[in-house]
Amino acid sequence: PNQAVATYVTQWKYDSHNRLLEMIYPDEEKVTYGYNLGGQVDHVRGYKSYGYDYVNKIGYDKFEQRTYLKYCNGAETFYSYDPARRRLQNLVVNTKAGIIMDNAYSYDAVSNVLGIKNNAPLPQSGKAGGQMSHSYSYDPLYRLASATGTYKGTDNKSASYTLSMGYDNMHRITSKKQHLSQTGVQFDGTLNAGYELVYTYGSAEGKKFQLDNVRDINYR
C-alpha cells in the first residue's frame, strides 16, 4: 500500500533461426550475441553508455564441442577431448597471473569419471588455489561407491577427504560416511572432522522413496 507501481521491461530480439541476437535489460543495458557459420555462439557483447565485451571469443571443433573461451578480463580456457569417445580430457585456464587450472580427466570403459587431477603450478605465497586430485569408484550398478581427494597449496596448506556410499536394492541411499582433514587451510593448525549418516525411508504405500530420517551416528 501507498507504493508507486513500477514497471520493468525486458526485450528480446531473435533471428530467422530463432537464435537470440539481442537482449535489453530493464536498466537499458543491451547485450548482443554473435554466431559463427555453424550457428554456435562465438562472442557476447554489452553496451550501456559505452561498449564492452563479456566474452571475446568462443571456438569449436568439427564436432561442435567447445575448444576455446576468452573472457573480457583476458582469462582463457582451452578444452581438449579424447579422440575416441569425445569426452573432456583436459581443461586449462590461463589468466594474466598464469595457469590457475590444468585439469586432466580419466574415465572407465562406460565413461564414468574415475579421476580429476589439477596439475596447475602452485600459486605465490599467500594466494588462493593449489593442486587438487579426486578419485572415484563405482559399484556393479555404476552407483558412486567411494571417493577420495587431496589438496596441496602454498605455505604448507594441505587437505584430504574420503567418502563412502551405501545403497539398498531399491537404489536408495542408506549411508554416507565422510572424513576430512586439513592443515593450515581455514586456520592455523590441523582439523579432523567428518560424519556418518544413516538414511531411513517411509514404509507406507506410496512413500517408500520419501526420506523419513537422517541420523549422524559418528559425528566428529
The confidence score (pLDDT) of residue 217 equals 86
Mean pLDDT, all residues of the chain: 94
- The mean pLDDT of 179-208, rounded to a whole number, is 91
pLDDT at residue 70 greater than cutoff 90: yes
Tell me the C-alpha distance between 39 and 60, whole Å: 11
Q: What is the pLDDT of residue 187?
A: 83
Predicted confidence band of residue 125 (pLDDT cuts 50, 70, 90): confident
**If you average pLDDT over residues 10-26, what whole number do you get?**
97
Cell (9 digits) for 26 = 530493464
pLDDT at 123 over 90: no
For position 91, what pLDDT does the model report? 98
155 compared with 178, residue with greater pLDDT: 178
Q: Quick one: average pLDDT of 2-26?
A: 94
Q: What's residue 174's pLDDT?
A: 96
Residue 1's pLDDT is 61
Q: Is 31 exposed, middle or buried (0-12, 13-18, 19+ CB in 10 A)?
A: middle
The percentage of residues in the chain with a pLDDT greater than 90, rounded to a whole number, is 80
Please give the pLDDT value at position 113: 98
C-alpha torsion angle, residues 154, 155, 156, 160 (rounded to 10): -50
- Which of 148, 104, 154, 160 is CA-nearest to residue 130? 154
If you average pLDDT over residues 68-77, what whole number do you get?
Answer: 96
Q: pLDDT tens digits for 144-174?
A: 999 999 999 988 899 999 999 999 999 999 9
- The Cα-based distances of 119 to 35, 137, 210 in angstroms read 33, 21, 42
Which of 24, 65, 71, 19 has the alpha carbon at shortest distance from 43?
71
CA distance linking residue 213 with residue 209, whole number of Å: 12
Query: Are the C-beta atoms of residues 33 and 18 closer than 8 Å to each other?
Result: no
Confidence band of 219 (pLDDT split at 50, 70, 90): low
In the three-class reduction of DSSP (H, G, I as helix; E, B as strand; rest coil), residue 154 is classed as coil
Give the burial string for 79-98 (b: 16+ CB within 10 Å, else e): bebeeeeeebbebbbbeeee
**Does this model's pTM top 0.75?**
yes
**Extents of the domains making up the chain:** 1-61, 62-216
Say which residue, 124 or 150, is predicted with more confidence.
Answer: 150
Among candidate residues 138, 119, 139, the one with its CA nearest the CA of residue 129: 119
Closest to 121 (Cα-Cα) out of 89, 94, 88: 94
Q: Are the C-beta atoms of residues 203 and 209 closer than 8 Å to each other? A: no
Average pLDDT over residues 17-38: 96
d(CA 100, CA 88): 18
Whether residue 184 is predicted with pLDDT greater than 70 in this model: the reply is yes
